[in-house]
Amino acid sequence: MNENQLVKLAQAGDFDAFNLLIVGHKDKIYRLAMKLTGNREDAEDIVQETFLKAIDNIDKFRRESSFGTWLYAIALNNIKAQAGDRKKMTLKPIEEYLPGGHEAGAAELFDWGDPHKLFEQKQLQKLIESSLAKLPHKYSVPFILRYIEEMSIDEVAAAIKLSVAATKSRIMRARLALREMLSEVFKERANERVQ
Amino acid sequence: MKECNKQIEQICDYVDGELDSSLCRELEAHLKDCKNCRIMVDSLRQTVILCREGKPERLPGELESRLNSALKRRWKKKFGKK
């Protein structure tokens, strides 16, 4: 049975059809909520609220996007309402993340080599989590959807209700900001080891 | 500097394997001469790889049970049946 048929059945009151529609999204929405809120209790509330709101509004789902994209949009509204964007870093303009290239006197970027030689896997994971948590949601959300949940640019754009160009730009800035945060930590660690 | 600034969007597309092949060749020619852009390509690639590492988190079992009960109750309230 395809998604459209399941949606029709669910909208007519078939709970089993609804369960089939959400089964593949429970873990994904929990992961997204965990990454954005950084704590399990908030993530659990967001998951529950998301699926309850999906039930409340299922008759309003018009199949203009996939069911998954619609669920993500509900989840993101819940995250925004619950977690907000407090104490997040301000991202620099793209030009300021650039390497400087051939410009005379441009500083050479730190060459990462293999970061696993600088940190153990668990330390790396904590570092990634804390770096992602510093990004404002408007940047971390599209980055996570694109690269961790492996959604297409079009799907991410639909979920966050932005144009494809604006979505790509936010993902790029998130990636550049994360790269820079990680680079600073790796460089510091490498220098400590030399001393 | 200007040349590198122009390339950043291309660098991101290149890292994701989404850059048009003629632009790919141009960028690869630039990368041969520009160490900073080579480091940028490598570190941007590793940024995503590191974010994907680790065990994917799953919904805890006890939450799934609570969630299923809450969904059933809400469904019954909305549709008057399971």
The predicted-structure confidence for B41-81, as pLDDT tens digits, reads as follows 999 999 999 999 876 778 999 999 999 999 999 999 999 85
What is the ipTM metric for this complex? 0.81
Chunked into runs of 10 residues, chain A (195 residues) has average pLDDT values of 94 96 93 83 92 96 90 89 71 78 66 94 90 90 92 92 94 95 95 83
Residues 49-88 of A with CB under 8 A from B: 51-52, 55-56
In chain A, whose CA is at the least distance from the CA of B69?
A48
Q: Measured between alpha carbons, how far is B18 from B39 in angstroms, rounded to an integer?
A: 19
Determine the distance in angstroms separating the CA of A24 from the nearest CA of chain B, rounded to an integer.
11
Domains, chain A, ordered by start: 3-83 (1.10.1740.10), 94-194 (1.10.10.10)
Mean pLDDT, range B7-21, rounded to an integer? 87
Residue by residue, DSSP assigns chain A as --HHHHHHHHHTT-HHHHHHHHTTTHHHHHHHHHHHH-SHHHHHHHHHHHHHHHHHHGGG--SSS-HHHHHHHHHHHHHHHHHTTTTPPPPPPGGGGS--TTSTTPPPPPP---GGGTS-HHHHHHHHHHHHHHS-HHHHHHHIIIIIS---HHHHHHHHT--HHHHHHHHHHHHHHHHHHHHHHHHHHHHHHH-
Asked if A99 reaches chain B (Cβ–Cβ under 8 Å), the answer is yes
Q: pTM, whole model, 2 decimals?
A: 0.83
Distance from CA of A159 to the nearest CA of B (A): 20
Chain A nearest-CA residue for B33 = A102
Å between B27 CA and nearest CA of chain A: 13
